[in-house]
Structure 1
């Protein structure tokens, strides 16, 4: 079997390291994700190609693909005339990722408000810092949401 896509080894290794850290992925899952980044024409990569190109066991590749699918980083499709599944980067993931970030910031804002309401003693210096932090969160939420609307 041949590789269906061309990759640059240095960029591939940089992507493996970067996405492994950013998405907290195990090494093989990070390699699969990085490999899919080079599928510019969206031809899709088969399970067998991952096994061969990455020199990994079928069970390891299967586990990594399941992790990537469940975390919505990749998607799969079956072509009409074939039994094989083809895997692709989930183009919607960027939007999903930032929606999760916005939700975490909103959750933190609520938690800060709840803590502030619970606190018995008011400390003006502390309140000033918290208000500045909340303003930063609010500003970033608005900025990210405006950008998401453009995606």
Structure 2
């Protein structure tokens, strides 16, 4: 096996592990997505994905359907060719950022509830934790603002093309 192919396999596994953890994808779905990230814009056929992942047809099919539903991948066909070609969706990064922003919003809501509860029921704890709590809340707000700004920039860029 050539060094390039071995390096690609290691990179696919590394990307797959991160995607599996971060996006909550099944390991095979994460590896399929990682494979598509590293493939050309021409995409890969279903059979090529099976060969690369060394998984059975039904597993690849199920996981591709999940990736399609999540808008992580898209498919297209070529004129005169019955095969479907799969590639990464141009919306993935924007959708991933939105998903992360939604998690930050939920975390901010919980933090506000905790602070309100402690303010009423545990004033000593509230007063002692206020500075650290405010710092963390400010951090989350800054992250959320940054994400929203980048999502808008991506949308603007996509609208230009």
**TM-score > 0.5 by shorter chain:** yes
How far, CA to CA, are the matches of 1:133 and 1:45 in structure 2?
Answer: 43
TM-score normalized by structure 1?
0.80
> 1:27 & 1:111 partners in 2: Cα distance?
30
Distance 1:58 1:79 in 2: 22
**Partner SS, residue 150 of structure 2:** helix
Shift of 1:36: 0.8
Q: 2:158 corresponds to which residue?
A: none
**Pair 43,107 (structure 1): closer, same or farther in 2 beyond 3 Å:** same
Distance 1:80 1:37, change over 3 A: same
TM-score scaled by structure 2? 0.75
How far did 1:13 drift? 3.4
Deviates more, 1:29-38 or 1:117-126: 117-126
Compute the RMSD of aligned alpha carbons: 2.3
* Gaps in structure 1 of 5+ consecutive residues: 1-5
- Distance across 1 between alignment mates of 2:53 and 2:112: 49
Q: What is the Cα deviation at residue 46 of structure 1? A: 1.1
Q: CA deviation at 1:130?
A: 1.6
The residue aligned with 2:82 is: 83
Q: Which residue of 2 aligns with 1:134?
A: 137
Which residue of structure 2 lines up, in the alignment, with residue 10 of structure 1? 10
Q: How many pairs are equivalent?
A: 145
In the alignment, structure 1 residue 22 sits paired with structure 2 residue 38: no
Shift of 1:44: 1.6
Distance, in Å, in 2 between the alignment partners of 1:53 and 1:106 is: 38
SS in 1 for 2:74: strand
Higher helix share: 2
The farther-off stretch of 10-19 and 30-39 is 10-19
- Give unmatched runs, 5+ long, in structure 2: 155-161
Which sits farther off after the overlay, 88-97 or 27-36?
Answer: 27-36
